[in-house]
Amino acid sequence: MLIRLLALIHKEFLALLKDPRSRMVLIVPPMIQLLVFGYAATYDLKHVPYALYNEDSGAAGRELVAAFDGAPTFRRVATLHAAGEIAPRVDRRDVLVVIHLGPRFSADLQSHGSAPLQVIVDGRNSNTAMIVLGDVRSIVERFNREWAASHGLAAAPARLETRAWFNPNLESRWFFIPGLVGMLTLVVTMLVTALTVAREREQGTFDQLLVTPLRPAEILLGKALPGFLIGMVQGTVILLIATLWFKVPLLGSLPALYGGLALFLLSGVGAGLLISALAVTQQQGLLGAFLFMVPAVILSGFATPIANMPPLVQAITLIDPLRYFLVILRKVFLEGAGFDVLTGQLWPMAAIGVVTLSLASWLFRHRLY
């Protein structure tokens, strides 16, 4: 049996790798996607163009303006001289934020200890607007502390000091890139396995398998193992790029991470073979893989928290293996988790893998005869 199985696996690898275009599909697109997502998929704002409308001529106004000009992420692109200039700048997206100091800003701050400051933000992208407001708030709070200290004023009775665990610098890249390990591995594994049987049917070689001594279970296993092995290699390469190129810390247990990767690939291969057993042509297999992958990514919590989804949708995510693997990736990468913490994420993927492989095996035998 082992010799027959190894011969079939060898045949599958030859079918996948002998064509240069197939090799390119397996290697180049995932690497390009990793680099593109790694650099583009970020919530961090490194460049905030802002406009200043300063009607104040006092020292306090100049100090606050200097604080904004000295901030590393803020860059003044316009100095306004009338209120009517604000709306056109925001409408044309020339600026993300407008800082407006009224004519009595310094006088009110000197006499009353407080003064209003108007901040106008382009709210078309709500996430960006919230980040900009947070940065503005940080600059103003720092100015307030320095002003109070330099003028002998009583400091605020309580001062907020924040500390971010697991991601001290709040780098959104540390959140996204571990998720790419699961997403890109799923894409490659699904494409390899979902097209395997359909390709045999289209090329007319499927009937040749039926006259070999191979049993249906052996054929199914021979179709599954190449996708599994390619997924392991692909996942390893992406892990190395994430840690060595993007410098995402890997703090947890490597055996736990690979255990999760193996179970995730088991469920992905099962889903791919299920699609392949149903598909008659490669086009049907490709569409089936696409119909599976898009909801799997959307419902996995890759970009939006599952807790924010409606209860019915949250229930549907329970059958999504990517949901569990993303938790494993982020816990191992950032929290230093091991097997003891990840058990609740490992067994659902194992169950999904067993169910999908069992259904694929049943369909395979049913359609074989």
What pLDDT score does 50 carry? Answer: 92
Q: Which two tokens stand for residue 225?
A: 């193992």
Residue 320 has what pLDDT? 93
User: What distances in angstroms separate CA 341 from CA 100, 177, 223, one per listed residue?
Assistant: 50, 21, 33
Phi, psi of 76 (to 5 degrees): -75, 120
Query: Residue 252, Cα to own-chain centre: how many angstroms?
Result: 19
135's CB contacts (< 8 A; 6+ apart) are 45, 48, 71, 73, 74
What the block records as the tokens of 279 is 């598909």
CA–CA gap between residue 239 and residue 248 (Å, rounded): 9
Write down the pLDDT at residue 158.
Answer: 47
pLDDT by 10s per residue, the chain, length 369: 667 666 666 666 666 666 665 666 666 666 676 666 666 555 667 788 999 999 988 888 899 899 999 988 899 999 999 989 988 888 888 888 899 998 988 888 888 777 888 888 887 666 677 888 888 888 888 888 888 777 776 655 545 555 666 777 777 788 888 888 898 898 888 888 887 777 777 766 666 666 666 676 777 777 788 889 888 988 999 899 999 988 889 988 999 999 999 999 999 998 988 888 887 777 788 888 888 888 898 888 887 778 778 889 889 999 999 999 999 998 899 888 889 889 999 999 999 999 998 888 887 767 655
Closest Cα to residue 93, out of 114, 68, 67, 122?
122
pLDDT at 130: 80
φ, ψ for residue 194, nearest 5 deg: -70, -20
Query: Which phi and psi angles does 325 have, rounded to 5°?
Result: -70, -35
Beta strands in the chain (DSSP E): 48-54, 74-80, 97-101, 117-121
The values of phi and psi at residue 49, to 5°, are -75, 130
Q: What is the pLDDT of residues 45-67, one digit of tens each?
A: 778 899 999 998 888 889 989 99
DSSP letters of 216-255?
A: HHHHHHHHHHHHHHHHHHHHHHHHHIIIIIS-----S-HH
Instruction: Output the DSSP codes for 115-151.
Output: --EEEEE--SSHHHHHHHHHHHHHHHHHHHHHHHHHT
Of residues 6, 22, 33, 57, the one with CA closest to residue 226 = 6
Whole-number Cα distances in Å, 138 to 109, 133, 144, 164, 358: 18, 9, 10, 15, 56
0.75 exceeded by the pTM?
Answer: no
Residue partners of 303: CB distance under 8 A and separation at least 6: none
* Domains of the chain with bracketed CATH: 8-41+171-368 (no CATH), 48-150 (3.40.1710.10)
Q: What is the spatial distance between Cα 187 and Cα 360, in angstroms, rounded to a whole number?
A: 19
Do 285 and 306 meet the contact criterion of CB atoms below 8 Å apart? Answer: no
Structure token digits, residue 31: 């690497």
Distance CA 313, CA 323 (A): 13
